[in-house]
Amino acid sequence: VLACVKEAEAAILKEEQTKAYLPIPGHPTYGEEIRHLLLGESGEAVATMQTPGGTGALRVVADFLAEFRPGSAMWMPNPTWPNHPQVFSRTGLTCESYPYLDESQTQLDRQGFLDALAALPPEQFVLLHGCCHNPSGVDLTEEDWVAAAELLARGRHLPVVDIAYQGYGQGIEEDAAGIRILAEKVEELFVCNSFSKIFSLYRERVGGLTFMAKDPSVVETVTSRLKRCVRTHYSNPPAHGGAVVTKILSTPALRADWLEDLSAMRDRIRAARVSLTQALRKSTGTDRFDILAQHQGMFSLMGLSQDQVEQLREEHAIYLVSN
């Protein structure tokens, strides 16, 4: 548990006056803090719902889209977090995939990715990972984001960005670059964010669903539909985790402590990547695994076959996930 979390919790315990329900969209200050982290000082019309984790946000947006356009497809990268297809298909949306990695499974297939976006039928729902792609660790550069955003805008597609690791890649601001590029170029945008990892608040279920539109009246209409989805799922969000995050983000000293902890977590992941890469260089005599040091966030694909993973397991007691 981060020290800033303990401190915020102690203050909340002392100050808390009520256990009344939160409003359906959650605490308004929490929403403002999320919008600020994701979009900076954007002038667009935006609304945020406080959700039980990033998964809650994904489920609410899935529900909304399935009701709004039943039977539609959600396009997601191949590979993606295994829960993505499960969440979206449960609501009746169909799951389609677009290419993301090249043959090595360790790098972006830039052309394949952009060609697939260019070839989509108009007005599709498209899921993108904001940063620290799970499971590959392969992220888009700013140039890739600009190219993707232009194609999404041209096809009048609706991007849904999932961001669960903001700050684990390059930094809080840097990791939001893709979202901000999209926000500038497309008419409407959903972002599902999770604070589970970056505040180490996993079990408190802290996340958010943010909707941005160039037309403020659309934000109002969509918010009212989202509220109906929430009302029939969990009625209103759990308060504690959101209160902790709000306390930290809105108290300058706690915010500074958190940013320091976040940098420490990011540096530790980087250091582990670099030392693993160096060790693999030494023991294999090749630079084949150098790519691990370039990947972002908690996950990487190494381009190993299932047989190789099994061999590592059986013969060397080195345990990797088989996919």
Which residues are the active-site residues? 81, 162, 197
The answer to whether the CB of 257 falls within 8 A of the CB of 265 is: no
Q: Rounded to an integer, what is the distance from CA 100 to the centroid of its chain?
A: 16
Q: In the chain, how long is the greatest CA-to-CA distance?
A: 63
Count of residues binding ligand PMP (CB under 6 A)?
10
Cβ proximity to ligand PMP, 134 vs 166, nearer residue: 134
Cβ proximity to ligand PMP, 155 vs 204, nearer residue: 204
Instruction: Give the nearest distance from C-beta 204 to ligand PMP in angstroms.
Output: 9
Cβ proximity to ligand PMP, 50 vs 194, nearer residue: 194
> Pick from 87, 152, 164, 191: which binds ligand PMP (CB under 6 A)?
164
CA distances from 127 to 54, 81, 85, 96 (A): 14, 11, 10, 10
Give, as one character, the DSSP assignment of residue 186.
Answer: -
Instruction: Give the nearest distance from C-beta 306 to ligand PMP in angstroms.
Output: 22
CA distances from 34 to 148, 176, 194, 211 (A): 24, 11, 10, 11
Instruction: Please state the length of the chain.
Output: 323
Give, as one character, the DSSP assignment of residue 20.
Answer: P
Instruction: Give the nearest distance from C-beta 164 to ligand PMP in angstroms.
Output: 4
**51 in contact with ligand PMP (CB under 6 A):** no
Stretch that binds ligand PMP, among 52-60, 175-183, 218-226, 272-280 (CB under 6 A): 52-60
Instruction: Give the nearest distance from C-beta 296 to ligand PMP in angstroms.
Output: 12
> Pick from 196, 210, 246, 296: which binds ligand PMP (CB under 6 A)?
196
The answer to whether the CB of 223 falls within 8 A of the CB of 190 is: no
